[in-house]
Copies of this chain bind each other. A is one copy, B any other.
C-alpha cells in the first residue's frame, strides 16, 4: 500500500468527521500521496475546508475528474462496516482503470464476485486490510532487551490513540531515534502499509497476533503500538487486553478525551473514573511484563484554548505525569517520557 502515490479517497455522502475519520487520517499522514477526495455534495471545496486536513487537495465529483490515479481508498468507517451500495459503479470504474481498491470495512471486497472479476480482468488489486488469517497463539516471546515498547491505551474508543502513537513515533524519529509505528486498526494499516487488524482476529489468537506483530519488528529501538478500545469498554475490552498482553509494553501512554464521560456508541453508560482505569491498566500489564504509565494524551477538541491549557495542567498535577494534546501542543513531553523510560530500563 505504501507504493501508492496517487491515491483517490472516496467518502461520497459520508463527510461527517466521525464516519470519515479514515479519510481524515490518510489526508493528515499521507498528504503527499493523495490527489483527490470524492464527495459530490462538496465538490469544488478543498480537503482542508471540508475535513480540516489535507490542505489544497481538491474535493471532486467523480473519479473521471482525476487523471493518473493509482489507487482508490475507502475513506469511511460507518457503523456496521458495510460498503454503501451506491458506490458499486464507481468501484467498478476504478478497477477497470486498474486502480487498486483498498478497504478497511468488515464487508470484504474480495468476497464480491463482480469486484473480483473486474480486478482480474484489469490486473488491479483488491486489498481488504481487515482480512486476517492469524491462527497462532502467543508464545510469551522474550523480546529483544534493546527493544522498548510503548503502547497507547485509552478511556474509550475514538479518543486519539492512533494519532498520539503516530505523533510520538514522528517525534522520536525527528530526534534521531529508530522508532517504528505498529498499526492495529484499519486506518493505521492504510497509513503505514502494514499491521494487524486486531479486532477481527479470533479470540484465542488475539494475543498471538499482537505478539507476532511486535516480534517481527523487535530490531527497532522503539516500537510504538497503536491501542484499541479500552480496558473498561463493555464491548471491546477483550481486544484491548489481548493486544496489551501480546505486545508486552514497557510504557503506556494513557489517552482520554476531556469532557467525555459516557461510552461512545452506548446509551447512558458512564465511563469509570480515569484513576480506576489507569490503575487497572497497570495492574493487568504488569502480570505480563514490568510496565507503567509514562504520560497522558488529552484530546481537548471540545475545549477552548484556555480550557485546554487548564485541563492539561490539571491532568499533570492530578496524576503526576506529563500531559499533551498532540494536536495543540505537539507530543514533545511524551517523546521525552519515552526517552526517560528508555534510560531507566537500560539502567536496570
A interface residue numbers (CB < 8 A to B): 137-140, 198-204, 206-208, 211, 231-243, 245, 263, 266, 269, 272, 276-277, 279-280, 283-284, 286-288
Nearest-neighbour CB distance to chain B for A210, whole angstroms, equals 9
Nearest-neighbour CB distance to chain B for A198, whole angstroms, equals 7
> Are A234 and B203 CB-contacts (below 8 A) given A284-B284, A287-B280?
no
> Are A277 and B287 CB-contacts (below 8 A) given A206-B203, A234-B138, A237-B207?
yes
Q: Return the contact of A140 from the options B200, B202, B263, B279 (Cβ within 8 A).
A: B263
A266 nearest CB neighbor, chain B only: B140
Q: A288: which B residues are within 8 A, CB to CB?
A: 232, 234
A140 nearest CB neighbor, chain B only: B234
Cβ of A287 and Cβ of B232 under 8 Å apart? yes
Can you report 6 A-B residue pairs in the complex whose CB atoms are below 8 A from each other?
Answer: A139-B235, A199-B203, A234-B288, A237-B287, A238-B241, A276-B287
Q: Return the contact of A238 from the options B232, B239, B287 (Cβ within 8 A).
A: B239
Nearest-neighbour CB distance to chain B for A138, whole angstroms, equals 4
Cβ of A203 and Cβ of B242 under 8 Å apart? yes
Nearest-neighbour CB distance to chain B for A275, whole angstroms, equals 12
Copies in the complex: 2
A243–B203 alpha-carbon span in the complex (Å) = 10
Nearest-neighbour CB distance to chain B for A239, whole angstroms, equals 5
A238–B241 alpha-carbon span in the complex (Å) = 5
Q: A243: which B residues are within 8 A, CB to CB?
A: 238
Cβ of B235 and Cβ of A208 under 8 Å apart? yes
> Are A269 and B232 CB-contacts (below 8 A) given A241-B237, A242-B237, A280-B283?
no
Q: A286: which B residues are within 8 A, CB to CB?
A: 272, 276
Q: A140: which B residues are within 8 A, CB to CB?
A: 234-235, 263, 266, 269
Cβ of B231 and Cβ of A287 under 8 Å apart? yes
Q: A211: which B residues are within 8 A, CB to CB?
A: 234
A241 nearest CB neighbor, chain B only: B241
Nearest-neighbour CB distance to chain B for A272, whole angstroms, equals 5
Across the A-B interface, the 7 shortest Cβ-Cβ residue pairs: A238-B242, A140-B234, A206-B238, A232-B287, A138-B235, A137-B235, A241-B241
Determine which residue in A137, A235, A241, A288 has the highest number of CB atoms from chain B within 10 A of its CB, and name it.
A235
Cβ of B236 and Cβ of A137 under 8 Å apart? yes
Q: A201: which B residues are within 8 A, CB to CB?
A: 202-203
A245–B234 alpha-carbon span in the complex (Å) = 6
A206 nearest CB neighbor, chain B only: B238
Cβ of B236 and Cβ of A204 under 8 Å apart? yes
Nearest-neighbour CB distance to chain B for A247, whole angstroms, equals 11
Nearest-neighbour CB distance to chain B for A152, whole angstroms, equals 18
A136 nearest CB neighbor, chain B only: B235
A207 nearest CB neighbor, chain B only: B235
Q: A204: which B residues are within 8 A, CB to CB?
A: 199-200, 235-236, 239
A138–B266 alpha-carbon span in the complex (Å) = 9
Cβ of A239 and Cβ of B203 under 8 Å apart? yes
